């Protein structure tokens, strides 16, 4: 098993929260093009979503997808973001995915 994937599977929500960062849309484009970008609704905790993805919690993930709280960005969103390449996002890498939120992280 790939070491990075193993570490993410064993990482706690708190561990993942410490790896949340801020990034610009221009950096995320490559991840969109390879199909690895996942938009997390701002109503969800990004670290919690990352933890569920890393743990492959199919039930939680399917529920969020059905509720429209987790998924690929829409064409409308992508067009809007392309107009503002400096738009900032919260991001969390859960290999092979990059989870993003439009809400910016709060660093303590």
Q: What is the pLDDT of residues 51-78, one digit of tens each?
A: 999 999 999 999 999 999 999 999 999 9
Q: Is residue 64 part of a domain?
A: yes
Residue 95: the pLDDT is 92
Element (H, E) at 15: helix 13-17
- Provide the number of structural domains found in the chain: 1
Q: Is residue 107 part of a domain?
A: no
Exposed e or buried b per residue across 32-50, where buried means at least 16 C-beta atoms within 10 angstroms of its C-beta: beeebbbbbbeebebbebb
Q: Is residue 49 part of a domain?
A: yes
In which domain, by residue range, is 49 found?
3-101
Q: Is residue 108 part of a domain?
A: no
Consecutive sets of 10 residues in the chain, 108 residues long: mean pLDDT of each?
Answer: 48 90 93 96 96 95 98 96 91 96 74
Q: Is residue 73 part of a domain?
A: yes
Q: Is residue 19 part of a domain?
A: yes
């Amino acid at each position: 098993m790939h070491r990075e994937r193993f570490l993410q599977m064993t990482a706690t929500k708190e561990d993942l929260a410490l790896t949340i960062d801020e990034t610009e849309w221009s950096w995320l484009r490559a991840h969109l093009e390879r199909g690895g970008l996942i938009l997390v609704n701002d109503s969800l905790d990004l670290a919690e979503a990352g933890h569920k993805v890393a743990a492959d919690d199919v039930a939680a993930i399917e529920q969020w997808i059905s509720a429209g709280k987790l998924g690929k960005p829409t064409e409308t969103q992508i067009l809007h973001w392309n107009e503002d390449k400096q738009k900032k996002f919260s991001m969390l890498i859960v290999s092979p995915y990059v989870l993003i939120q439009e809400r910016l992280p709060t660093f303590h």
